[in-house]
Structure 1
């Protein structure tokens, strides 16, 4: 837990009386005994101390021993900066601030102070015991302030590092990385969710200060198991693990974005596989202005036609794969019926005359189109998606699809 000496000036530089020379000598002679007694008392008084790893016990033991030695120096020369924070905590690794809470650190300080105070009669004559006890208490207060300062600095450093690491993970996901380095970063950032991943993108608000980010994290914590937040200039990216799919969840998060469209990509199995979802979301964000009536937020898959027109090849492939080929593979001439229905102004009667079938047959086939593709040709917006799928499917390279009229009629 390294700290700088410049911030460690004692709060009370001098005592009212000079140190008693004989008491100083006794203190120096008993540093080893006090350290041994302290370590034994830590083991007896603090159950959590006994459960630490050997390296953590050793580091905390060094903190306790340095605290006693530093007290002796401070007692002898109270104006000296010898007991600065680095003297007490400099031997402890930074990782201790992760495994040992501030509350536990203060418990350790309390034990050290108690051991020294209990042995005051052995360390000083009767007339000096009072000032020595007062010095122990005053020093313990300074060390408590020092511990709080160490943990505050460690939290600030860790927070800044976690923010940078989180930004690196979000950037790697957007670039579609799938490497061991990304996996190690995901582990380091503390991601725990094993549920499916959703990437949500939109514009960032004009004021993206720390309070906004904290509010965003609280909102995502209520609606998902895990979340990463990325702010890249005017773009806000949320990577959500185990998103609550109940009604209104996406809408509540969309309220935290800036003005303009908000788009979420298709679910991904893991963070490592979230690249295509992020790319689909950004492609949808680019194309969303072509659909002014789009809901906010809108799924990237609902923007397939606009994405195709803006040059998104993944949307073209998705239309062929998810709509056009299933229609051709289905029976009852679904693709031919859908094509006639769309080209004849969505008229059941005109479609029936064109295909020489009954209107009820057309109606049945259109319901089958909805069953097969998930898109309802009776709804104008979804009919537009289906029509776009027919267009891009017909333009697919030769051999990628069979002719529509090869399907049998009913």
Structure 2
């Protein structure tokens, strides 16, 4: 039967089985050295602050409250070093003890690079005092402890900045989503203006809203890739993902001289499958709601035109939008096609109506109107000049025919005294 170990055994019952982590590998600290460290905390803090003033020009240029916040971090770091040197623990203490006092002020006042410069100066200030603090034989362990401590503080600083960046990124994303939602709902208020300023929007014209489906499984970097791509064609971009819909609000489109059609085509490649529609230009972000509503109306009506280009302009889908019940499209057809044709006179409405009803035949139209075929050609060219739509092209002729029907219905629904068309 094995005999129990005694105090004279090779391994004492009081000997630790695992060496604790920390500076010095768990060795006992010299009580006199620890007392000397505690008594020198004030002097070390004063020397460190002086060194920050002399070695870091950017520190001198900070506001008094910012210098105070950073000085507090430095002093807290020195005080926490003494505690850590006496009883080394896991690195989690660094976050709470050193940066827990002023993380917001720290990340707001200086960059990560400057924070590391501050840590370096603090460490150098403490290192310079090591011979006086150690008291002879303890100099090497104390110097090693300072270096290990500075490493932990540097990692903690990086963690503070990473967390702050994540928080800012999440807040910016939520704020951007609020702005996009307000634009879609047509909100126009001082609150929206302040949000627009908060997201850093600078464009004051050429605002376009582009909508389509979002990719089925977008990568984590999808939104960043979308921003980089749109930056080639637009001065500002807002991104919104609502369910399976992707919304791009683009400001200052093609101010860099690139072709608009090419820009929309390249951007449409980043959308998911299905139609992609962009609305008409708006004068400002506050006025972009009409562009967004037209784009969404076009997206809903796009299945009625299987041959629609990708992307398609919302105005190119006027007929399909009218059929789907879009009042804005009905008003636009009346205002931008029917009224200009009527006001232009010279038989343009009669010629266009006959041409469309007679199967797009120039000769039949000429016989119907008792004019020469060249007169019909001239009038149809005038129709194109007045409206921007060419009746000789089948798709554009369909738009013109829809505009005539909408215009006649609009005029018929009005009282006789309100049927004047001149605008």
TM-score by length of 1: 0.89
Q: Within the alignment, does 1:338 sit opposite 2:352 as a pair?
A: yes
Post-superposition shift, 1:359? 2.3
1:352 pairs with one of 360, 366, 375: 366
Q: Within the alignment, does 1:32 sit opposite 2:46 as a pair?
A: no
Q: Which residue of structure 1 lines up, in the alignment, with residue 388 of structure 2?
A: 374
Q: Which residue of structure 2 lines up, in the alignment, with residue 258 of structure 1?
A: 272
Q: SS at 1:199's partner residue?
A: strand
Contact kept, 8 Å, 2:23 with 2:145, in 1: the verdict is no
1:236 pairs with one of 228, 243, 246: 246
Q: Which residue of structure 2 lines up, in the alignment, with residue 13 of structure 1?
A: 22
Q: Which residue of structure 1 lines up, in the alignment, with residue 17 of structure 2?
A: none
Residue correspondence of structure 1 range 206-225 to structure 2 within 5 A: 206-225=216-235
Separation of aligned partners in 2, 1:86 and 1:255:
47
Q: Is there any run of 5+ residues in structure 2 with no aligned partner, and where? A: 1-19
Contact kept, 8 Å, 1:200 with 1:262, in 2: the verdict is yes
Query: Aligned-residue CA RMSD in angstroms?
Result: 2.3
Post-superposition shift, 1:15? 2.5
Post-superposition shift, 1:268? 1.5
Contact kept, 8 Å, 2:279 with 2:294, in 1: the verdict is yes
Q: SS at 2:210's partner residue?
A: strand
Listed one character per residue, the Cα deviations across residues 43-88 of structure 1 (whole Å, up to 9, x for unaligned) are 2222322333333222222111111111122122224889431211
TM-score by length of 2: 0.87
Q: Within the alignment, does 1:387 sit opposite 2:401 as a pair?
A: yes
Q: SS at 1:231's partner residue?
A: strand
Post-superposition shift, 1:91? 1.8
Contact kept, 8 Å, 1:195 with 1:241, in 2: the verdict is yes
Q: Which has the larger Rg?
A: 2
Q: SS at 1:238's partner residue?
A: strand
Moved more, 186-195 or 113-122: 186-195
Separation of aligned partners in 2, 1:82 and 1:155:
20
Residue correspondence of structure 1 range 6-405 to structure 2 within 5 A: 12-16=21-25, 17-79=27-89, 83-94=93-104, 96-244=106-254, 246=259, 247-396=261-410, 397-398=413-414, 401-402=419-420
Separation of aligned partners in 2, 1:82 and 1:349:
89
Q: SS at 1:326's partner residue?
A: helix
Q: SS at 1:194's partner residue?
A: coil
Separation of aligned partners in 2, 1:114 and 1:209:
44
Moved more, 207-216 or 247-256: 207-216
Moved more, 253-262 or 390-399: 390-399
Contact kept, 8 Å, 1:264 with 1:297, in 2: the verdict is yes
Q: SS at 2:240's partner residue?
A: strand
Contact kept, 8 Å, 1:14 with 1:79, in 2: the verdict is no
Separation of aligned partners in 1, 2:90 and 2:322:
73
Listed one character per residue, the Cα deviations across residues 135-173 of structure 1 (whole Å, up to 9, x for unaligned) are 111100010111111112222222222222222222121
Listed one character per residue, the Cα deviations across residues 186-242 of structure 1 (whole Å, up to 9, x for unaligned) are 222233333422111111221024133333232223332221222211111111122
Deviating 4+ runs (over 6 angstroms) = none
Q: Is there any run of 5+ residues in structure 1 with no aligned partner, and where? A: 1-10
Contact kept, 8 Å, 1:59 with 1:93, in 2: the verdict is no
Separation of aligned partners in 1, 2:224 and 2:46:
45
